Amino acid sequence: MGGCDDEANALAVLCKKYVSKEGAQLQPSEDCCSLVRQVSIPCICEHATKEVVKLISLEKVFYVVGTCDRKIPPMKKCVAISIVS
């Protein structure tokens, strides 16, 4: 991957329909999961602006992460997202 911006853009393209507030919860594609397993969590957090957070369902984000067998490192906040442990 060519840097943090490229990772965030690729994630938006490949996984958008699986984390969008609109629509039903869907099983993520293998392409989406492959990317989820390799992206930098701190990078993605940098791109989690208030505008982005308004468009995504955190419930669906955690579903995708879990379905793709990705562990999220312990953290309290991801820019615009407060994470309750």
pLDDT for 17 = 96
> What residue numbers bound the domain in which 39 lies?
4-82
Phi/psi of residue 76, nearest 5 degrees: -95, -30
Neighbouring-strand partners of residue 81: 78
Q: What is this structure's pTM?
A: 0.81
Domain count, the chain: 1
Read off the pLDDT band of 85 (50, 70, 90): very low
- Output the six-digit token pair for 35: 């990317």
- Summarised one tens digit per residue, pLDDT across range 18-74 is 999 999 999 999 999 999 999 988 888 888 888 888 899 989 998 999 999 998 777
Closest CA to 27 of 56, 60, 76, 71: 60
Closest CA to 80 of 32, 31, 47: 47
Helix (H) or strand (E) holding 77: strand 77-78
Is the confidence at residue 1, as pLDDT, over 90?
Answer: no
Assign residue 51 the CATH number of its domain.
1.10.110.10
pLDDT for 15 = 96
